[in-house]
Structure 1
Amino acid sequence: MILILLFLSACFLGYSNGANDNFKGVATLFGSGTTSYKKAISWATATTFLGSVAAIFLANELVKNFSGKGLVPNELITMPIFAISIASGAALTVFIATKIGMPISTTHSLVGGLFGAGVMAVGSQFNFEKLGSTFLMPLIVSPLMAAIASFFAYLIFRFFREKLGITKKTHLHIHEKQTPDIASLNMDHATLKTKTTMEATVNNKVNTYEGEILGLSSQKVLDALHYLSAGIVSFARGLNDTPKIVGLLLIINVIDIKLSMIIVAIIMAAGGLINAKKVGVTMSKKITPMNSGQGFTANLITGLLVTTASVHGLPVSTTHVSVGSIFGIGTVTKKADYKMIGKILLSWLLTLPIAAIISALIFKLLETFS
């Protein structure tokens, strides 16, 4: 029964992770108007799943890290209630954030769960040094690196775009607008005519790029690269996040790690398809407005950083890196919404302690009744 509970907890975590994280890789596709929400989430689902499958072969180090090995005594790792507490605490934290539209880090939630359940179980025997060096440092440094990298990358790309003679062209959304014509009011027959005017809506303007690259339309080349970069980010997220959840299932020896990866990948996909829209809108529309070139730059930086971290076993957060990259673009264009960034940063600060408290309480409850 306890092993079934552990498996269900891991599944809940996978679902919550997909709901909060799946759209982040394609947020710039939707935010820049390159594609619709439906097409963006479909592309995210497919590429995230491929990343999860690739994790079977490339991310074994992350599986070990998130089993708790090195943070707590080995005998605690073999206790199912320890893993259940971590998974449940992290899952509840991420699920609540998803419901209110805040893009938080599943990685951060898992670290909080590890900390809360670990300290509740072993107290001072918990390896605080490894927690700081292996887990917290990459989480703190990665968004700063992403913001700085995307800031300079966009400046470099803009420089070369201008040198190649590729210019930006703004298209406004022009439509008919009907307004009451007061002068036509006929009190005897109680009639009021309307007059039709043309209106250009600035809020729906679209930036495109004019010019050619190697004989091809620069906008078509950029759109293709933007889709590719979004796929890379989603692939990297699947590669980085799936092993963290599977690491909690290591103590169930009857389930093969490869099979666990596939099951978690399917559940993550379901979470993204069903519950991703609120977080998707926050990431796409509320941090900064962007065009396709800016979105491509942010995605490229995010994909490179997350993929590199995954291969080297560093548990960075795709959320932190992605938000950092988008914010870096907003900084260089001077259009970043600092109020929204403040709300996101507050949710990040609260993630770890909330997950730690929930996991600690669940561990104590399970320990009491087991």
Structure 2
Amino acid sequence: MFLISLFLSTLFLAYSNGANDNFKGVATLFGSRTTSYQTAILWATFTTFAGGLAATFFASTLVRNLSGQGILPDAIANAPEFHVAVAIASGLMVLVAALTGFPISTTHSLTGALFGAGLVAIGLKVNFVALGSLFILPLFLSPIIAISLTATIYSLLKYSNYQWNLEANQKAIDACHFISAGIISFARGLNNTPKIVSLIVIIEYFSIQGGMITVAMAMALGGLLNSQQIAATMSEKITAMNQIQGLSVNIVTGLLVIAATQFGLPVSTTQVSVSSIFGVGLIERKTNVSVFYKLLISWVLTLPTAAIISGITYRLLQG
């Protein structure tokens, strides 16, 4: 019974992840009116799903057991009810955020859910030091790095536009913008699919490859059906943007995602993409600061809220 519940709750998390995350890679396409919302979400769906499918070829190295991550002993985290609590709590947190237009980090939601269930399972024996690399550092570093780097990249592209009239070659700029959005979405699917699949690896009758494909499908569906509010926040509410600004955001997001993967930098893809959009608006003094502050608060509250939901869920499942 718990194994069936685990499978369904993991699909719920994958769907929620897609709803909150899939549009982030293409937000600048819609925000700069390079494409329509429909074209942007279809491109995000296709490239995210492609990234999820590509993960099947790297399953042996990419699937990570998120139930550990140095937070608590693996033996404690192997119980199906623990995984169910983590999947339900993080999935609910991410989906509610998506439906209300708050782009939050799925990884931070998972981290919070792990801590919440862990506190109920073993009390204060959970590794609080792990919070530094998993939550606190990304929360502080991601916005600072992204805003600074985006402001620099955009300033350079803006200067280049004045010098060489880049807009005269608008088709090339749009093509680069479109490709960069696809690369970001592909990378996100490649990275997030194994994280979610790691929750169901304890189901011995379920292959990792089958899990990858199923999770990728659920992620794609979630983004296709429930991305509207995230799109409104990221594409319109933070700042108005043009094609050069949108391309600048995608360059920075892509660079930081690749660098984080390569060098183990503690940054959040969600916070990088949102902060990059804020950064280009800051240069033009067109940012909606109140919206960005609300997003910052939601990022701070992600972990404790997910922890509370997970702890309660785990206790109920134990009963």
Q: Identical aligned pairs, as a percentage?
A: 53
Report how many aligned residue pairs link the two structures: 319
**What secondary structure sits across from 1:310 in the alignment?**
helix
**What secondary structure sits across from 1:84 in the alignment?**
helix
State the partner residue of 2:145: 145
Q: Deviations over 1:43-72 (max 9, x none)?
A: 000111122223334576663252324221
- Shift in alpha-carbon separation, 1:33–1:69, aligned structure 2, 3 A: closer
Structure 1 window deviating more from structure 2 (141-150 vs 265-274): it is 141-150
Q: Deviations over 1:245-299 (max 9, x none)?
A: 1121121122122221111100000001111111111110000000011101101
TM-score of the aligned structures, taking structure 2 as reference length: 0.94
Tell me whether 1:260 sits opposite 2:190 in the alignment: no
* Aligned residue runs from structure 1 range 98-117, under 5 A: 98-117=98-117
C-alpha displacement of 1:311:
4.5
Q: Is the CA contact 2:65–2:199 (under 8 Å) kept in the aligned structure 1?
A: no
Structure 1 window deviating more from structure 2 (241-250 vs 332-341): it is 241-250
Q: Which amino acid aligns with 1:299?
A: N
Larger Rg: 1
From 220, 243, 248, the counterpart of 2:199: 248
Specify every segment of 5 or more residues in structure 2 that has no aligned partner in the other structure, as ranges. none
Q: Is the CA contact 1:59–1:313 (under 8 Å) kept in the aligned structure 2?
A: no
Q: Is the CA contact 1:45–1:272 (under 8 Å) kept in the aligned structure 2?
A: yes
Q: Is the CA contact 2:137–2:266 (under 8 Å) kept in the aligned structure 1?
A: no
Q: Is the CA contact 1:14–1:268 (under 8 Å) kept in the aligned structure 2?
A: yes
Q: Deviations over 1:109-139 (max 9, x none)?
A: 1111011111111112212222322454234
TM-score of the aligned structures, taking structure 1 as reference length: 0.82
Q: Distance in 2 between matches of 1:361 and 1:143?
A: 31
State the partner residue of 1:4: 4
State the partner residue of 2:312: 361
Hey, which of these two has a bigger chunk of helix by percent?
2
| Runs of 4+, deviation exceeding 6 Å | none
From 185, 205, 211, the counterpart of 1:234: 185
From 199, 202, 227, the counterpart of 1:276: 227
Q: Which amino acid aligns with 2:14?
A: G
Q: Is the CA contact 2:72–2:126 (under 8 Å) kept in the aligned structure 1?
A: yes
State the partner residue of 2:129: 129
Q: Deviations over 1:189-234 (max 9, x none)?
A: xxxxxxxxxxxxxxxxxxxx2x3xxxxxx10000000101111111
C-alpha displacement of 1:102:
1.4
- Shift in alpha-carbon separation, 1:60–1:289, aligned structure 2, 3 A: farther
Q: Distance in 1 between matches of 2:277 and 2:3?
A: 41
CA RMSD of aligned residues (A): 1.8
State the partner residue of 2:158: 158
- Shift in alpha-carbon separation, 1:149–1:299, aligned structure 2, 3 A: same
Hey, which of these two has a bigger chunk of strand by percent?
1
Specify every segment of 5 or more residues in structure 1 that has no aligned partner in the other structure, as ranges. 168-208, 212-217
